[in-house]
Structure 1
């Protein structure tokens, strides 16, 4: 049997906040709410997400338009249109073997059609952050009827994770290859699992009885949590860090809260090179004064840990030369040192006190 959450496996990794209420599997519709206040949350009749699409449209695209690879419910890379792949020893060539079967249009899934679709998806990224992430792709080649090679100009350890993003889902004749079909019904999106037999894949016995339709609604944070508590939705996805307190203020009466595993949530970005923050020593003083443990304790979530590192280990930009900072000092000792630096800066030349105020704003950390 298909578990209730398994039918929604392409959506779960995209939700920053998931309130799961998955009971015994059955084939009734699974009612899902996504936190999204967009005027046109599902991207119109076609269900195609634009570059600036909100969470609901991205979820629809992720469910209806697979790429070469995809994510499972735990965020791990799994086969999608490609059923297997190899990586050369130098890390600069990824060779994908496409699965047997067809596009949703009934046309054969070939290396040439997949190559053209992937190139079109890459071109459509424009100057988005994802385009910068995949800038190392040098060429896409067909090697056989169902074999596609992606050549890189440098190793990209996270290429598979990037290829699994909804923006790099492959379409043919403006239709995705599943695993679900999109239907717009009023203010609700219906996502219906596609019968493998219709894609030229081996038939699955009793397919309608072994799968569940997804009824997806877009709601604001408070309404989504209220609907969950009232039992009118089984799962809530999406939301940002400012929505998380709703899970306490409104109250979660059933189910459990699941937060996606991410590396780095909070950081500070210096917005100009004038004033107090122009000096790296002063920027360090600000970093020293932050009570990281106090910040994360407000969320009462296990598994979160504070770090004083500038770059998270193993990510791009980490040279492995800077570990945890100020480990020999308590928070109060760090704040005393930070106050001294502020005092020295304030007591220095009058220009320090008349310079335009330094600006820093919260930014995602890596």
Structure 2
């Protein structure tokens, strides 16, 4: 069985690494820039209703900007706010709104914007940013064009959170740009228009972008045939689909995304109730081989919740066992499995994964590594039947709090009450260095409890045609549709 699985794994790995000869002739670009997002047709949705699919997030961030927004490289630029400043103690962010009107008439006022922002963070809102913005004490209109966001403790990472599409400002189903929706006769596509006024000669130009959704296979084939200029929203699950098609050199791009990519237990009881079992499973994964198989530039194995480069966090040391090859620790892992289970039959573990050939590769990797210890691994038919589910989320900022708060006892089946106390202390800590130290301690406790089995960072990819010059990867994997045909400056 092991040999059979290994042969299947090698076959899948080769499919990822070697592109096939399937490719069409690219058409010459003309007319509006065409953008395809992997997934369903983009729809303008209220983020208070819950998490946004990739297409909805892209549409929202481009037609309903927040106080600030991201440029192509993930830098913060003005949205509704033309400028802002931060108080010396870090507890007050003051934004001055640019003059403007709502699409359906009427001046944009600070009072309206403040009310709409507060709606996303209070009441029955299911906005995913609500917890990350838990330090917001109030959003207040100071004048008709000035808004203050008051915090209970300093948050240097506030601006990236406000730039996320979940904090876009919608009023009566309409946003304020930078694009606006226009009618189009092309079925299944949205036409977005943006008027650009040159400050030098007051001349006007217009950007037109056609946006639609498609399956990964259809999106890749359309790109290869020159029928779309930009494909967004790719993940590890559908990466092999892009690798199978012969694409123009340099068109496959990866975001240097930060976040969580790994497995989380779904219940307190059952085969994963004991931390020693979870520890055994974590140490038995050949992360090096998985990362080599995915073949994503810059992607490295990870065995801790936190990653390098987080705000105020020193270098994250990986556990000692993670620095040795799986072959060198396989004997001790087998001995640990015998100690834990004796002669008993090892349990069946059901894994909740997305659909796609990349997810199939991950499943096969787990079947090989955990199967070597006697476990039977199956794909769960539904999340409710899974013992472990995959978490594949990009972090909205460089704050370490986002990484650990995902595993609070109120929402995570496997947790650590003392880690919760550390998180609570960190939320109220007035000194950033103290806050970071508390969060590092919380992460260490969660790592020790194996509340999460990390694998690497999230994988996010795009296909970028020769017509597109204003595209850049960034740690948030958020992409503006502005300036797609303009060269980015050296600074992004």
Q: TM-score range by the shorter chain?
A: 0.7 to 0.9
Alpha carbons of structure 1 residues 292 and 144: separation in structure 2 relative to 1, 3 Å:
same
Contact 1:268 1:360 in 2 (8 A): yes
Alignment partner, residue 226 of structure 2? 231
Alignment partner, residue 21 of structure 1? none
Alignment partner, residue 340 of structure 1? 335
Q: Deviation per CA, 1:172-224, whole angstroms, max 9, x where unpaired?
A: 45421111111243311000004569xxxx6973323xx42001121111111
Contact 2:51 2:128 in 1 (8 A): no
Alignment partner, residue 34 of structure 2? 31
Task: Choose the corresponding residue for 1:325, options 319, 327, 332.
Answer: 319
Deviation at 1:52, TM superposition (A): 5.3
| TM-score (structure 1 length as normaliser) | 0.78
Deviation at 1:134, TM superposition (A): 1.8
User: Does structure 1 residue 84 correspond to structure 2 residue 79?
Assistant: no
Deviation at 1:314, TM superposition (A): 6.0
1:263-342 equivalent positions in 2, closer than 5 A:
263-313=258-308, 323-326=317-320, 329-342=324-337
In 2, the alpha carbon distance for the partners of 1:339 and 1:34 equals 44
User: Does structure 1 residue 362 correspond to structure 2 residue 390?
Assistant: yes
- Give the aligned CA root-mean-square deviation in angstroms: 3.1
Deviation at 1:312, TM superposition (A): 2.3
Alignment partner, residue 207 of structure 1? 204
The residue matched to 1:57 in structure 2 has which SS?
helix
**How many pairs align?**
325
Alignment partner, residue 99 of structure 1? 98
Contact 2:189 2:212 in 1 (8 A): yes
Q: Deviation per CA, 1:88-119, whole angstroms, max 9, x where unpaired?
A: 33332211122233333453333222212222
Task: Choose the corresponding residue for 1:247, options 242, 247, 267.
Answer: 242
In 2, the alpha carbon distance for the partners of 1:88 and 1:193 equals 34
Q: Deviation per CA, 1:65-98, whole angstroms, max 9, x where unpaired?
A: 0100001111222211112222233332211122
In 1, the alpha carbon distance for the partners of 2:293 and 2:287 equals 11
User: Does structure 1 residue 190 correspond to structure 2 residue 191?
Assistant: yes
| TM-score (structure 2 length as normaliser) | 0.59
Gaps of 5+ in 2: 1-28, 351-386, 394-402, 404-492
Deviation at 1:123, TM superposition (A): 4.5
In 2, the alpha carbon distance for the partners of 1:321 and 1:30 equals 42
Contact 2:260 2:305 in 1 (8 A): no
Alpha carbons of structure 1 residues 130 and 269: separation in structure 2 relative to 1, 3 Å:
same
Alignment partner, residue 17 of structure 1? none
